[in-house]
Amino acid sequence: MANAKTNALDASRGKNIFHRNSVAAIRLIEDFVIKHTNIDIYSSSDSEGSVDDTISLKSNSASKKKELRVKTLQLKKTRCEDLEYKLKILDTTIAFLTISGVVLATQDFESNYSDNKEERYLQSNLTDKFRIYISLSTIISIILAVIRSITSYNLKRERKIFLEDKIKSYFFTSSFPLLVAEILLVSVHCPPYLDYEFEFKQLSGTLNVNFSSICLSIMTLRVILLLRLFLHYSRWATVDVQIICRENDANRPLSFALKAILKDMPQYLLLPCFAISTIALGVALQVYERPFNQDNIMSNTTNCGGISETVESTLDYTFLYNAEWLVLLTMTTVGFGDFYPRTHMGRFIAIISAIWGTFLISLMIIMFNNFVSFSRGEEKCYKLLKKITESRELREYAKKFIKASIEAFLYKKNHKLNSNDPLLAMRIAQINHYKKMYKEKVLDVKFRNNDIREVLIELNQSFSMDLEKLKKFVANAQEMENQLDTLIESQKKTLEILLSCSKFSRDVENMMVFSQGGLR
């Protein structure tokens, strides 16, 4: 009765552990199955008293254990693929909701803004509708971000289980701090029916800006969430690729995916990054520079022909593309000077643009270098065509050399001239010139084509061919050795048979001699 209760408790415990999706659970289940199978095996073997049956049953249990492990790992892989697809849908939805909120906040800023300082930020009829949608999209995005973080943790856990790594709690992994940072980033927005105007002292004036504009400048950071889409829709971030990365000690599969995209097709990542960065930073820059430059007009005094004139100059940020023009010039480190930031926040945004632009420009130089560089097939074709062209040039120099030699020989034979003839000397000089050019071209081709890589490739090919021949020789030698061993064994048996036959014949002869002696 106690054994039955123990077995029941073990079975229920194994069943509960199975639903935890952990390596320990899988191994406990496997050990539980093998343990109880072995009990039945040993009891049956003891009752029958057959050692061979025990060995065969043990081998069957080992094969069952292996099959169970293979099936479990296959289920784990399928679950990883399902979680990856769910994560892809969540990231796409979050990116759509957050970017649509930024677009509507920009439209709200444009519709509410007025050039009149006294009525600078007036709320239009669509303002409340825009902000209600932005608030709803923000709330939905936060909820989806929590679900996404849990899904991401489950995916990491399944991958670690699949690869037999250590499992940490949710709050001790990178998923929790990333969730907090994402919530802080997404939650910044201007709620409906709430707006305040602030005044900040600057170096050359006063900046008046409202709360919704400040929120809009921070909301432009939401474009960072678009980076996830490159990883999801790339062939370098699949489950199989990440498994291969972990098996080869590449412990950062996302970093590997970005590097692989930059190496394989960098234009698909750099060009969108350039465009999105220019638009986002341009919107943030316009929020602060547009009201400041309209309220604080600069005056420049110029002296022309002894007459001083005061000219009011303003940096017009009414159009968004002027701010984007400034950001683009800053990112490319050109800086014409027609537009420049005057506020503290505008200068801070310009510093970020300069740093980010330097990084993108350096990657773009690498992209163009990779674009100009030959692939392996193209490099092979180029070298082959180069060799064909050089061989044609060598033939042309050889033809000219032979032609000039024959013409000089015939000219000397027909005219019966001595070696001091000027025409003959000119032809001989021409022959020497073609001969010299031919030798120089041969040496040039010889040294130019002596590439270390090609020599190593040829040596490798020759060594591999020789190695294959040696392998065949060794295989043939082993086969001959086996055949010789067989022949030696057969000869030994034949010798033994002959010796036994000779012994038997001697015995027969002795018996016949003995019998004949007895008869006499």
In this structure, how many other beta carbons lie within 10 angstroms of the beta carbon of residue 182? Answer: 21
How would DSSP label each residue in 309-372? EEEEE----SSHHHHHHHHHHHHTT---SSS---SHHHHHHHHHHHHHHHHHHHHHHHHHHHHH
Residue recorded with tokens 């990856």: 84
Q: Which residues pair with 198 in a beta bridge?
A: 209
In terms of phi and psi (left: phi > 0; alpha: psi -120 to 50; beta: otherwise), the region of 239 is alpha
Q: Domain residues of the chain, as ranges?
A: 69-196+209-222, 376-449
Q: Let me know: does 323 contact 282? Beta carbons within 8 Å.
A: yes
pLDDT in tens, 433-490: 877 887 777 766 665 655 556 656 766 777 777 788 888 888 888 888 888 888 888 8
In this structure, how many other beta carbons lie within 10 angstroms of the beta carbon of residue 53? Answer: 13
HSE-CB for 444 with a 13 A CA cutoff: 12
Q: How far apart are CA 199 and CA 206, in angstroms?
A: 7
Q: Are strands 307-313 and 205-210 parallel, antiparallel or unpaired?
A: unpaired
pLDDT at position 231: 74
Q: Let me know: does 130 contact 108? Beta carbons within 8 Å.
A: yes
Q: Which residues pair with 121 in a beta bridge?
A: 113
pLDDT at position 249: 73
Question: What pTM value is reported for the model?
Answer: 0.63
The closest alpha carbon to 289, from 327, 269, 316, 311, belongs to 316
pLDDT in tens, 220-262: 999 999 888 877 887 777 767 777 777 777 767 677 877 888 7
Looking at per-residue confidence, does 8 or 189 come out higher? Answer: 189
**What amino acid occupies position 160?**
K
Q: How far apart are CA 384 and CA 374, in angstroms?
A: 13
157-166, 246-255, 315-324: segment of lowest average pLDDT: 157-166
The closest alpha carbon to 215, from 97, 108, 327, belongs to 108
* Mean pLDDT of the chain, nearest integer: 78
Confidence of residue 161 (pLDDT cuts 50, 70, 90): low
Looking at per-residue confidence, does 35 or 482 come out higher? Answer: 482
Q: How far apart are CA 487 and CA 481, in angstroms?
A: 10
Looking at per-residue confidence, does 149 or 426 come out higher? Answer: 149
Q: What are phi and psi of 32, to 5 degrees?
A: -65, -45
In this structure, how many other beta carbons lie within 10 angstroms of the beta carbon of residue 42? Answer: 13
What's the DSSP call for residue 199?
Answer: E
pLDDT at position 35: 46
Q: Are strands 307-313 and 197-202 parallel, antiparallel or unpaired?
A: unpaired
Q: Hey, what are 210's tokens? A: 């409202």
pLDDT at position 122: 75
